[in-house]
Amino acid sequence: MKSRPAPSLSNSVVETTPAVAWVILSVLALIWGSSFKLIDVGLQVFSAVQVASLRLASAFVVMVFLAIFHLRRVPKAKIKLLILVGFLGSFTPAFLFAAAQTEISSAIAGILNSLTPLFTFIVGLLFFGQKILWKKVLGLAVGLLGAVSLILINPKGEISFNAYALLVVLATVCYACNVQLTKNYLSGIKPLYISSISLSFVGFFALIYLLSTDFTTKLQQEPQALTSFLSVFVLGVVGTAFALILFNRLLQLSSALFASSVTYFIPIVAVLLGVYYGDELSLWHILGMLAIIMGVFVINRNK
């Protein structure tokens, strides 16, 4: 099947985007913007791999019965692609974010997450025939410059390379590939089918691994285990399963770049929650966030 050029978020597209798409965009920003703090709460008791596994396993428990029911409605030729989407859009980023947040704040993770539209543009350019304009290249440069400032500058405003921030960058590359694959090859499949099947495949393996660790021991013995468990469980059910259904629906209602532009608002929610709960941010971090958002804005303009 030949790929189709990924559409850009031009002014005309914005004007014709259904109102429900903007509502979904707003809901996703609130859900995903708070997910970074939920990861932090989970990490207070569980290891990074346990947090990621619990997140995916929680989504699996909710989605597996739907997946079994809907699997026969999906063309067999699409199954391998759905598994790939599960690994790119859910499995790999879950582990990368959890590992990254052992060394960086939820606010920084939320800001770096806004690189997704930049990499969506790059993936579209390299593999899906998206047109290139010099202004988009400028936007890409500005956004990446903002990301570099977040990676190289610590909360005290000092230059200090943090390799863990690169894990978030890698996660956004995975998200970008997922966006383009879903938009270009799975647009004819219902969002519930995509979400339930892709999550169930990866969630099954996450559940098996989780049960092989000391997760149940910690759950029984650690004083704050229940709070951490509930935080990650909500993250899995609402922030992963339910949100993924919404996001896939958003992809069908709009362009790939419009959908990925939910990351305009995610860092704002993440920063507000992070600062409220004591995360440290320097002026350079705020400037870096603004640079990324400005870069995304420039890339999403067609003129």
Number of neighbours of residue 156 by Cβ within 10 angstroms: 9
The model carries a pTM of 0.82
Does 17 or 288 have the greater pLDDT score? 288
pLDDT single digits (tens) 264-280: 788 888 888 888 888 77
Q: Is residue 112 part of a domain?
A: yes
CB 177 within 8 A of CB 92: no
* 130: Cβ contacts below 8 Å, ≥ 6 apart: 5, 6, 8, 121, 124
- In this prediction, residue 215 has a pLDDT band, given cuts at 50, 70 and 90, of very high
Distance of alpha carbon 196 from alpha carbon 119, whole angstroms:
25
Q: Is residue 1 part of a domain?
A: no
Per-residue pLDDT at 64 exceeds 90: yes
pLDDT single digits (tens) 33-53: 899 999 999 999 999 999 999
Q: Is residue 12 part of a domain?
A: no
Q: Is residue 95 part of a domain?
A: yes
Q: Is residue 10 part of a domain?
A: no
- Rama region for 296: left / alpha / beta (φ>0; ψ in -120 to 50; rest): alpha
Q: Is residue 204 part of a domain?
A: yes
How deeply is 3 buried, as exposed, middle or buried, from its count of CB atoms within 10 A (0-12, 13-18, 19+)? middle
Q: Is residue 5 part of a domain?
A: no
Q: Is residue 14 part of a domain?
A: no
Does 92 or 190 have the greater pLDDT score? 92
Range of the domain at 189: 22-300
- In this prediction, residue 90 has a pLDDT band, given cuts at 50, 70 and 90, of very high
Distance of alpha carbon 104 from alpha carbon 162, whole angstroms:
8
Number of structural domains, the chain? Answer: 1
